[in-house]
Amino acid sequence: MATEVHLGRVIRRVKFLRGLLLLLFIGAVGFAINVVHDLDQGVRSLRTAEQNDPVWVASHLQAELLQLKSDLSQFALGYGSANDVALRFDIAWSRINVLQEGKLSQIIGSFPVDASILAELEAEFQSLEPAIKRLNSNNINEEVGRSIAEDLVLSLNGFNGSIKDFLVSLAQATTKAETEFRAELLSYSHTVVYLSLTILCLLGIFILELVIELRASRKTESEMSILATEAQSAARMKMNFMSVISHELRTPLTSIIGGLTLLKRRLDGTMKDATAHKLLDVASRNGDRLLALVNDILDAQALSEGKVSVQRVPEDLNRIVISAVEGCHSYAEQLGVRYQLSTPNEEMVVLTDSARVNQIVVNLISNAAKFTSAGDVVEICLKRDGQTARIEVTDHGIGIPADRQSAIFTPFHQINPGTTGDNKSSGLGLSITKQLIDLLDGDIGFNSVEGRGSTFWIELNLLSEFSPRVETQYRPAPVSAAT
């Protein structure tokens, strides 16, 4: 009882600790996922900024503007073609567009920079476009063309300063973003340290919990083992007590039975008192039963302690079965039951212990007589089934109810205790029989229908190449020589 209370307390404590740990773990994992996600977002935004470095693209715009101005200046001096100028104009325009589209536009939008220069530049390009077209027209005077080119250079010169400012502010913003990211990264690294510490703490608690649980389970185990030892010693003491009592009973019992037998024999011719004869019979019969019971208890104890040994020699089962049936004949007669034996016309030699097989057969056929009604014929059949000898004992008695059949070979099991009248048994017979047949490496089984009777059978392996000459060789051979 104290153990159960203690166990319950330990289990509750362990459950609480586990729940707490689980919650802490979930919290830590959630926190870690959050940190990793934030870190990932930071890295992504930095990578995007690096992949689409707006400073790099804006510097390209500046370079293209310078190139355009250079081409225009050369054209004004009479070098280069109007086509080249137009192409350069388009290329520079494309750089304005690149900065106003896609990720670059988003990045520039997220920076605290004045991007209006791009719109102004685009508007200026739109206003310059007709002039560029004029340069490319076929009917333009060379002088006029040069003058237009000079004007164009002058118009673009106005953007030098603002483009430069734009580039500087972009560079500053980019640097600031990188610095911020690095600072954030540093803070993340602190967070990761805290997280690692938390996880280490949790691991410590987890290990502590394991140790506590291990100790508790060890304690429980030792308590259980003490209980088991106590139970075993109690059982052993009980069995020893039974055994001592049985031994002590057997000697006087044998004397009583012997005395009764002698007395009966002596009075048979002289005493005419029928009641006295009947009383002597009752005393004798009950003495026999008591002796059988005592013997059963001693057998059961010897079997449970592994003290029963078998000595296997080649034996003809015909002989054993006939002898067992003859031995039980008078007992069956008292119950008004007849035995009908059928044996094959051949030797059925098995390597076995004849005394034990005899005990098994006696148990089965006396049981059959006991649990059938007077006037019944118990059939005993010895037959060959391939390399197996099978002995079947069939009665037409009360049978075994289906729900009791699985427990039939357990000790102290009885069918309908109290209704078998004079035929009460110890309930050890079938248990002993089963243990003996197991010891002999045989099989036992039964088929039974309640109210219609039962057939119990045992099977033992036949000696395959037996001949009388071999018998003498087998006799001294050890058990392991059996085939």
Number of residues that bind another protein (CB under 8 A): 20
β-bridge pairing 377-385 and 338-342: parallel
- Which of positions 423-442 make contact with another protein (CB under 8 A)? none
Which residue lies nearer to another protein by CB, 99 or 462? 99
Which residues are registered as beta bridge partners of 340? 379
CB 77, min distance to another protein, A = 22
The total of other beta-carbon atoms located within 10 Å of residue 109's CB is: 10
> Rule CB under 8 A: is residue 220 a binding residue for another protein?
no
Q: Counting contacts by CB under 8 A, is residue 292 touching another protein?
A: no
Task: State phi, psi for 466 to the nearest 5 degrees.
Answer: -90, 140
Q: Which of 390, 389, 399, 391 is nearest to 368 (CA)?
A: 399
Binding of another protein by 101 (CB under 8 A): yes
How many CB atoms within 10 Å of residue 248? 11
**Part of the chain binding another protein (CB under 8 A), chosen from 45-53, 387-395, 427-435, 445-453:** 45-53
CA atoms of 173 and 184, how far apart (whole Å):
16
Examine residue 261 and tell whether it contacts another protein (CB under 8 A).
no
Looking at the DSSP assignment, which residues form a beta bridge with residue 247?
none
Minimum CB–partner distance for residue 59 and another protein (Å): 12
Nearer to another protein, 101 or 180 (CB): 101
- Of 18, 103, 218, 238, the residue at the interface with another protein (CB under 8 A) is 103
- 27 touches another protein (CB under 8 A): no
Cα separation, 344 vs 331, whole angstroms = 25
Cα–Cα distance between 361 and 339 in angstroms, integer? 13
Does 118 participate in binding another protein (rule CB under 8 A)?
no
CB-wise, 104 or 320, nearer to another protein?
104
Which stretch in 59-67, 237-245, 266-274, 411-419 sits in contact with another protein by CB under 8 A? 59-67
What distance in Å separates the CA atoms of residue 440 and residue 310, rounded to the nearest whole number? Answer: 7
Q: How many CB atoms lie within 10 A of CB 201?
A: 12
Tokens coding 399: 């049978």
Give the separation between CA 479 and CA 330, rounded to whole angstroms: 35
Cα separations (Å) of 256 from 169, 206, 262? 126, 73, 10
If 0-12 CB within 10 Å is exposed, 13-18 middle and 19+ buried, where does residue 374 land?
A: exposed
Of the pair 93, 456, the CB lying nearest another protein is at 93
Q: Which of 47, 133, 307, 452 touches another protein by CB under 8 A?
A: 47
Shortest CB 132 distance to another protein, Å: 11
CA dist 216 and 213 (Å) reads: 5
Residue 382: alpha-carbon gap to chain centroid: 47
- As measured in angstroms, the least distance from the Cβ of 118 to another protein is 14
- Of the pair 50, 114, the CB lying nearest another protein is at 50
Amino acid at site 412: F
User: How far is Cα 103 from Cα 101, in angstroms, rounded to an integer?
Assistant: 7
Would you tell me the crossing angle of helices 142-157 and 116-136 to the nearest 10 degrees?
A: 170
- Decide: is 98 part of the binding site for another protein (CB under 8 A): yes
- For another protein, the binding residue among 61, 85, 104, 300 (CB under 8 A) is 104
Q: Please report whether residue 178 would count as binding another protein according to CB under 8 A.
A: no
Closer residue to another protein (CB): 105 or 286: 105
The C-alpha torsion from 324 through 329 and 335 to 341, rounded to 10°, is: 70
**CB of residue 140 to another protein, shortest distance in Å:** 20
Cα–Cα distance, 327 to 359 (Å, whole number):
11
User: Is residue 40 a contact residue for another protein (CB under 8 A)?
Assistant: no
Among 77, 87, 185, 479, binds another protein (CB under 8 A): 87
Would you count residue 105 as binding another protein (CB under 8 A)? yes
Q: Are 195 and 38 in contact (CB under 8 A)?
A: no
The smaller minimum CB distance to another protein, of residues 117 and 430, is found at 117
Q: Is 416 in the site for another protein (CB under 8 A)?
A: no
The least distance separating another protein from the CB of residue 83, rounded to whole angstroms, comes to: 10
Among 70, 81, 94, 410, binds another protein (CB under 8 A): 94
339 near another protein, rule: CB under 8 A: no
Using rule CB under 8 A, residue 402 touches another protein: no
DSSP SS3 for 359: helix
CB of 191 to another protein, least distance (A): 27
| 64 belongs to the binding site for another protein (CB under 8 A) | yes
Q: What strand order describes the sheet that includes 377-385?
A: 338-342, 377-385, 388-394, 453-461, 443-449
- The label of the residue with tokens 């087998």 reads 474
Pick the piece of the chain touching another protein (CB under 8 A) from 21-29, 91-99, 162-170, 211-219.
91-99
For position 109 contacting another protein by CB under 8 A, the verdict is no
Q: Which is nearer to another protein, 52 or 261 (CB)?
A: 52
Q: Which residues bind another protein (CB under 8 A)?
A: 47-48, 50-52, 60, 64, 67, 87, 90-91, 93-94, 97-98, 101-105
